[in-house]
Amino acid sequence: MDSFRVASPALLLAVLLWVLPLGAGEFVAYQVALYLIYGIAAQGVALCWGRLGFLPLGHALFFGLGAYLFGGILKAAQAQSVWYVASPLALVVPAVIAYAIARLVFARSTRSGPYFSLITLALTMLGFLAAQQWSGLTGGFNGMTDVPDLPGTERYTTLYWVIAAAATVTTAILSILFVRPIGVLWRAVAQNEDRLQLFGYATDRIKALAFALSALLAALAGALFAAHQGIVTPETMGFLLSTEFVIWAAVGGKASALGPMLGAVIVGYTSAELRDRFNYWEVAVAALFILVVLYLPQGVAGLARKRPARKSISPTIMAAPARAKTPARQLELELADIRTGQGGVKILDGLTLAMRGPGIRSVIGPNGAGKTSTFNVMTGRLPLRAGDIRLDGRSIGGLGAWRVARQGVGRKLQVPSVFSDLTVRENLCVALWVGRLGHVDGLRDAPHAWHSQLLDELLERFPELRERMGEPAGTLPQGHRQALEFSMTMLPEPRLVLLDEPCAGLSPSETHRMIDVIRSVVARIGAAALLIEHDISAVAALGGDVFVLHQGRLLAQGTLADVQANPEVRAVYAGGRK
């Protein structure tokens, strides 16, 4: 039943496209085929925009590249059929270019979304100018003409079936990917990219691969366009066409595999019909777009979407693969003369501390002492201005968050940070997959059913999570979110755990339970833990050494009794109790 539900958009499309020529005739089918081609390209836009949260404004560049490359190959193959072997290049070349562009942009910053949109827009404009000027290859303003038919087809009749098959296949593939682990990670990128990086996921690569896939879809559409129209002009790389892709994706439904196809066919075909009958057809299309954006944020496809039934547990479970083991050695962490700041304000000013071996240590100090900033600079969320951070003798200072996480560092944030629109189960899966999910696994359904002994133990300790596994994490109350984020932090079994106020917002009974779980889990996985906490009773219950920070420096270190007796500490910090 689940397989049928996932494939239902593609099956519905296949039925509609099969019936169309029988009921409407070959000419209408020929017209609709053009908008099916555009729909495939719009699916690429929707993949990036609706799933990963960044909007490409220049997808016509890859559409045009696919059209010119495939059109040129078809023309060359008329003289020498061996050129047909080069046909995949029409898809591969645009995809590789797209991957390179995305890696260059997203590797610099996770906040590059708006800049990325403008960069793709500028590249499309350059592509349009190149297509006009490079007349020796593209035909210039007049375009590449006399593109022959796709072998074995005729563009006004049988080519329709090739295009219909391509549209069905792309819809089916996207529908499947959306519910596979890679689809969950795509949604996680859109919702909370920083949190995903703190697990060790290289989100710039995830986004670059998705953009490459979206470019491949656009290039496929461009190749079919060349065969369908028999001519490729610079307008295939134009900004206007890129804009239309965005409109069709929005109107049809950018979060759906079928939606962009519906948007292209409905809006595109309707516009073509109105163009000759209604002088203000562009106004009508613009009004439709505005109405859909305002009142149908999920697009036309959203009207037919039903909320899937939520399952509290997976019908079948299987043991997750073992994580790649780090060298069995005693953990050593050293922060040497750490300095950082923002806007000319010093945050950490010569902080030096060291710890060795497993166990729990607490970090206390007045507000503004630099406690959270210490965690931030350790995990790449604040720039390291001076000094060094060494983990097991290796410098991790200045590394990006995902690279630090891959050294075995886990981080729980001060404000519980989860993936709000993912279910509790999906949140836990994202954490459990760390270090276990291979490239092929990302395309399989099985990882959704993975579990580990640690996961089972955490769910025993936090039964409220087990009871709400099928609910969006954003609906959980504060205490349950704290439990969920702590569980997610520990599931990758990090060697060094940074816990920022894990008991904040909890009732006294919830605080006692959290303290017990922290002690138990940290001991079970043999980790070293640094914990920021203002509740002195929690610090006392957890035991271990205490680091006292003040004005970005280490003020004192020792047992809780030692630092409480220190007059310098008593002068600046008294702590609190629930």
Dihedral angle, C-alpha 504, 507, 510, 511, nearest 10 °: 50
Strand 359-364 and strand 528-532: the pairing is: parallel
Strand 345-356 and strand 528-532: the pairing is: unpaired
- Kindly report, residue by residue over 375-400, the tens digit of the pLDDT: 999 999 999 999 999 999 999 998 99
Per-residue pLDDT for 7 more than 90? Answer: no
**Cα-Cα-Cα-Cα dihedral sign, residues 37, 38, 39, 42:** positive
Least confident window among 177-181, 283-287, 305-309: 305-309
Give, in order, the Cα–Cα distances in Å from 515 to each of 16, 142, 384, 403, 497: 59, 73, 32, 29, 14
Residue 489 and residue 431 in contact, taking contact as beta carbons nearer than 8 Å = yes
Give phi and psi for 236, each to the nearest 5. -70, -15
Distance CA(333)–CA(317), nearest Å, equals 37
Other Cβ atoms within 10 Å of 494 Cβ, number: 25
Q: Which CATH architecture has domain 332-572?
A: 3-Layer(aba) Sandwich (3.40)
With pLDDT > 90 as the criterion, what percentage of the chain qualifies?
Answer: 70
Tokens of 435: 């270090």
Interhelix angle for 281-295 vs 239-252, to 10°?
A: 50
Q: How confident is the model at residue 529 (pLDDT cuts 50, 70, 90)?
A: very high
Residue 372 and residue 347 in contact, taking contact as beta carbons nearer than 8 Å = no
- Kindly report, residue by residue over 167-215, the tens digit of the pLDDT: 999 999 999 999 999 999 999 999 999 999 999 999 999 999 999 999 9
Least confident window among 293-302, 311-320, 408-417, 438-447: 311-320
Mean of pLDDT values over 525-539: 92
**Cα-Cα-Cα-Cα dihedral sign, residues 295, 299, 301, 307:** negative
Mean of pLDDT values over 294-300: 79
Residue range(s) of every CATH 3.40.50.300 domain in the chain? 332-572
Per-residue pLDDT for 316 more than 90? Answer: no
